[in-house]
Structure formats: structure tokens, C-alpha cells
Amino acid sequence: MNEKELFTVTAEEAGQRLDGFLAEAMEELSRSRIQNLCEDGRITVNGKAAKKNQKLKAGDVIEVEVPAPAPTEIVPQDIPLDIVYEDDSVLVINKPKGMVVHPAPGHPDGTVVNAVMFHCGARLSGIGGELRPGIVHRIDKDTSGLLMIAKNDKAHAALSAQLKDKSLSRVYEAIVIGRMRQDEGTVDAPIGRSLRDRKKMAVIEGGRHAVTHYETVARYNGYSHVRCHLETGRTHQIRVHMASIGHPLAGDEVYGKGREKTGLEGQCLHAGRLRFIHPDTGEAMEVTCPLPEYFTKFEEKLRLIAE
């Protein structure tokens, strides 16, 4: 099935060439690919077929139709997995920081999917599609921690339903910049594609409903350890929400002061606990994994400074 995306040009973006604008807005597509889509008549501006070098005006509405990719064979790879829980229907792994979940442009292999396909063979749900077999939810490349995989379609459908009705609970540990004043709080703010930088997400009017509950675990000199409970699961939700209240994640090069002298590579964020109803037994399950070394070493460094 073809995908369609809509963009509205802001006053700040006016004057750009169409292909240049879309190359920045749609990082998954190369400039040459966008030019080919123009030639094929799959890109319109205000309902009319567009040319690749067309200059954009404020208020222009761009529609891009991206043909569904041809089926791609993903090669199973013998990559070690840190398995936290496994049975005939569900697999939960502790994903290391720096590992991509599924193949994408720039990351054709070496992903969780490649590793899981080797481990599980044909015993994976197909609901996630050709590129995401068995993947129930995702976590970012530089986020570590628990990731759930469904081994069959029944389990996948049941777990996905729990994500929607919020009975599947996810808890994350994070180090944020700044001393948190509140012991606990909630960020209830809609998230959508940033109007200023379309490669980023942002709190915007008209975005998708997003709620993050947080509690302060510890305070240090210029940093805090917080525990975040997701009520919804939007792209980059914790990173965007914490930045929106003035406490971006330590090491976050996209939403925070990523180049501060922390020694971190990417955000300090770990998915530490999952609660779900087992799709076969109906039993309430809780799966946890300890904080990774990069997290504990950074926190110990902060603790020593505080002393």
C-alpha cells in the first residue's frame, strides 16, 4: 500500500526548491529519489503536479505519494541477544545502546530484527510487515533496555491491543539536565512533527495526544535521575516531553545539549520495566532489567561530584 505524506510550507520555509525542502523533511528519501517521484507525478503542490525545482510559497500544501517498497529479504544474522524472557509466544530482550531495531536506510543489517530472525527462525509474527517481523513496539537506537517481540500473529495482535488500551506498561530510567524541583509530575502535551525542523518531533498544537508521568529518583549537581512512566507511546516521547519542561536528557544531541561534556554517546535513557498481560495465559507479567554500565558509570560520576 502506498503511503502519503502532507506538508504545509511555513513563512520561514518559503523560497526553497521543492526537492531541497523534501530532502530535508523526509530524511528517509534521497534527493534523487524525490526528483524521480516528481517525474512520476507522485508529488503535488496545491493539488497540481509539481516540478523538482519549483519554488515554494508560504501556505503551499505538498502531498507526496511514496510507493510501497518491494519486498526485501532480511538476512538472519547470528548476533548475540540478551534474552530476559522467552516462551512460545513472547520474547523480551535487553537491547544494547547503539543497536538499531529494524533495517532502514543506512542500517541494512546488524539490527535486532536480523538477530531475532536468526534466533527464532520462522517462528515470528508477520503483523509488523516485511521489515519489522514480530516487533510490537520500538525504542531508539541510542536507548537501551527492554524490547518485546511477538512470535505469532495472535500474540502480536493481543500485545498491540494492550499498547492501545494502555494495559501494557513501560517504565524508563533517565538522567536529565538540571535539578528537578518537583518530586513527581506529569507532562500532558501533544507531539507531532516539528514545524521548524521536520527531522525532529516537538510539542505542537494539533499533535497526537501524549502523556508522560515522571518521578525524581535522585538529584545531583546540574542533573537529576528521573523515572518515566509512559501513558502513550509517541515517537521520541520522553526526549521531547522532558526537553519541553526544560530538562532535556543528558547526551541527547537532537533535543538537548548533546555536546555537553558528559562522555555519553546519545541520550541517557533505559527501558527498565515492562508489565503486560500474557497473550496465552492471561497472567499479569512483569519483566525488568538492570541499569546498563554506561548509565551507572555516569550516575556514579555525578554522585562523586555532588559529594
Q: From the options 1.10.287.70, 2.70.240.10, 3.30.2350.10, 2.60.120.280, give the CATH code of 166-307.
A: 3.30.2350.10
Q: Which of 19, 60, 88, 140 is catalytic?
A: 140
Distance CA 272, CA 136 (A): 17
3-66 in CATH: which number? Answer: 3.10.290.10
Q: How far is CA 163 from the centre of its chain?
A: 15
153 is catalytic: no
> What is the spatial distance between Cα 252 and Cα 262, in angstroms, rounded to a whole number?
10
Per-residue pLDDT of the chain (307 residues; tens, 9 = 90+): 567 889 999 998 899 999 988 987 876 677 788 998 999 899 999 999 999 999 999 999 999 998 765 555 788 999 999 999 999 999 999 999 999 998 877 788 899 999 999 999 877 877 666 667 889 998 999 999 999 999 999 999 999 999 888 899 999 999 999 999 999 999 999 998 888 887 789 999 888 899 999 999 999 999 999 999 999 989 999 999 999 999 999 999 999 875 567 789 899 999 999 999 999 999 999 999 999 999 999 999 999 886 5
The CATH code for residues 74-163 is 3.30.2350.10
Question: What is the spatial distance between Cα 208 and Cα 187, in angstroms, rounded to a whole number?
Answer: 13
CA atoms within 13 A on the CB side of 298: 27
In 3D, which of 19, 128, 17, 13 has the Cα closest to residue 64?
Answer: 19
Domain range summary for the chain, segments of one domain joined by +: 3-66, 74-163, 166-307
Is residue 225 within 8 Å of residue 173, measured between CB atoms? Answer: yes
Return d(Cα 151, Cα 89) in angstroms, integer.
5
Question: What does the DSSP 8-state code read for residue 181?
Answer: S
Q: Is the pTM of this model over 0.75?
A: yes
> Hey, do 3-66 and 74-163 end up sharing a CATH topology, with the first three levels equal?
no
β pairing state of 144-150 and 269-277: parallel
Task: Measure CA of the first residue to CA of the last residue in the chain; give whole Å.
Answer: 58
b/e for 168-184, b at 16 or more Cβ within 10 A?
Answer: bebbbbbbbbeebeeee
